[in-house]
Amino acid sequence: MSKSTHVAHEISISAGAFEHIIRAIAALSLEQTRFVTFKDVILYALERYPALKEGHSAALETLLPVDGLVRIFVRLNSTDNAAVERLKSELNAATTAHCGVREALIFCAMLVAEGEFSACKMQIDKVKL
């Protein structure tokens, strides 16, 4: 019997990064017609994330630094955590800044919030936070 392990990440983020998370949650909730969580956003992005596209690393670098006073907790199983680690490695190879788990998670939110994977980009543009 295999035992799934979980990894809990506590990250401290900026207000701007938090806004990307909120926009990503709103966009994905609209698309799926149900309320979603930040973890759902992360898994959605990782599932559909084939590889870094041109401009992705530059877009992430415009957000950096993303550290701040807003604390977020995310619990991932070992498989999902391995996907985050893979993404973190790719971001480190493609950017000039150091990218940790925090930056990889915010990158997932940015992709969904900016409509990279979302069919409802136009709808989310009308949402005022």
pLDDT along the chain (129 residues), means of 10: 79 94 95 96 87 71 87 95 92 87 93 68 46
Closest CA relative to residue 87, chosen from 110, 67, 68, 69? 110
Residues 38, 109 contacting (CB under 8 angstroms): yes
pLDDT of residue 129: 47
The whole-angstrom separation of Cα 38 and Cα 108 is: 10
Identity of the residue numbered 103:
E
pLDDT of residue 3: 62
DSSP 122: H
